[in-house]
Structure 1
């Protein structure tokens, strides 16, 4: 390939992102200062992309199935899967279209990698999608397809899923994982200094793992349970596994921590690969 053409091709390649999605509808409530830095980070995400994506494939920590499943409806609804919040938070709207074509492509790429996948034309977007996207992609003018996590929670399998989907990046498709690098809800609200220390230890380990070259990064992620305070920070790994998918899709692109904050005493991070 000529040098100019190769450069042009790489310039159009989308990065992959791991975004923090906050807690419930947190950005749309009166919680002074708590979520301001995260909200500002999410609002700035679109400006970091090389160009407007043709579509977004997102993996949230809030949908688990037996096999990888993609939303394939043309006009997905919203799933208000949070509880006990003010009435106005159940009226939030995010009318991004779906993309049956992208859903088909995702299923095909996974099949080529030997991974059986399904489509769900009725599934809507959970709050792990529409809450952060209302800030990051607020115009709702980019088609969105959501991909489920696998119920077996196997980190290596989620890396493989991401690897299979990496070709989408060269088709101007943005791959996004949303979750939280710390997700122990019981500790989140207590302010226990021990849990704050645990969050810092795990966040430090995770950042070091993500910023290593691909082979070392993936080895570390597969063995994440052996990290300092891993199970204190993630009693269930559902909010960490979207990071495995995007790390798989990153290939040889190095990870960079693009968001770092302390929320209610807990260290939190966001990452970009190939930005």
Structure 2
């Protein structure tokens, strides 16, 4: 079975561990909980590309038991002691590094990196028993979209081997423009995403993603692009396959339009 790939909007901070935020993000939670149903079987491992990890080269988490990275601020004390105890997958990490290197891209293993909230927050909803091995893969710090599409292509063969590839970011990420002021730019950029990912041909989709900075409200929606680049990896690993919107909400974070996408068919389709 060839798994689809995903780009998910992962929500705010450690939201699954806070009752009020979890209630506010109910629609997001339901979309994440539905992903295991969509793929139909338990994956052998999850490969997560998080918008919260950048490195000079593509770095692959290689610890057999990853630690935690509490990369958020101002949340309740208990959220700085939560543990998502999923095992790592060192053999898969070595395979990922080899695939990236074979594509002519620089890569290294990192035995110290732990799970950041771009990984553990959504996975706490998707696989709450933490019984699926997980590795993270960093972004490359230059945030070049073409290079991240190439990265996805290099990893595509893993989809036939029981590895679920997920790009974890946010379809809108401007921490200085949340709430009501975010309504117009997030809607404009989301409309471009829907058109690009669902209604464009595969070739046009790639071209539009490479030039994403020309999209409506692009730099208001993503001043840096770190939370968008995981999308490029998900698309690059499923270049010719159809995009599907699996989550869409018009008023998250007080005014933000946000979406998540699947590339490829669900098991039950």
Among 207, 217, 226, the alignment partner of 1:219 is: 207
Among 134, 148, 152, the alignment partner of 1:158 is: 148
Q: 1:76 Cα shift?
A: 0.2
Counterparts of 1:1-275 in structure 2, within 5 Å, are 12-29=1-18, 30-31=20-21, 33-189=23-179, 191-192=180-181, 195-211=182-198, 212-262=200-250, 263=252, 264-275=254-265
SS in 1 for 2:195: helix
TM-superposition CA deviations, 1:228-251 (whole Å, max 9, x none): 000011111000000001000012
Contact 1:13–1:50 (CA under 8 A) maintained in structure 2: no
Q: What is the aligned-residue RMSD (CA, Å)? A: 1.1
SS in 2 for 1:178: strand
SS in 2 for 1:236: coil
CA 1:32–1:155 in 2, change beyond 3 Å: closer, same or farther?
A: closer
CA 1:197–1:119 in 2, change beyond 3 Å: closer, same or farther?
A: same
Contact 2:16–2:22 (CA under 8 A) maintained in structure 1: no
Larger of the two Rg values belongs to structure: 1
Q: 1:32 Cα shift?
A: 7.4
SS in 2 for 1:147: strand
Q: 1:91 Cα shift?
A: 2.0
TM-superposition CA deviations, 1:172-198 (whole Å, max 9, x none): 111001110000112114x22xx3111
Aligned length: 261
Instruction: Please list every run of 5 or more consecutive structure 1 residues that lacks an aligned counterpart in the other structure.
Output: 1-11
Q: 1:33 Cα shift?
A: 4.2
Q: Which residue of 2 aligns with 1:3?
A: none
TM-score normalised by length of structure 1: 0.92
TM-superposition CA deviations, 1:126-149 (whole Å, max 9, x none): 110001110011111111110000
Which 4+ runs in 1 deviate beyond 6 A?
A: none
SS in 2 for 1:187: coil
TM-superposition CA deviations, 1:205-233 (whole Å, max 9, x none): 01111112321111000000000000011
Contact 1:201–1:228 (CA under 8 A) maintained in structure 2: yes
TM-superposition CA deviations, 1:246-267 (whole Å, max 9, x none): 0000121111111101212111
Q: 1:92 Cα shift?
A: 1.6
- State the distance in 2 between where 1:236 and 1:111 align: 26
Q: 1:35 Cα shift?
A: 1.1
Contact 1:177–1:242 (CA under 8 A) maintained in structure 2: yes
SS in 1 for 2:125: helix
Instruction: Please list every run of 5 or more consecutive structure 2 residues that lacks an aligned counterpart in the other structure.
Output: none
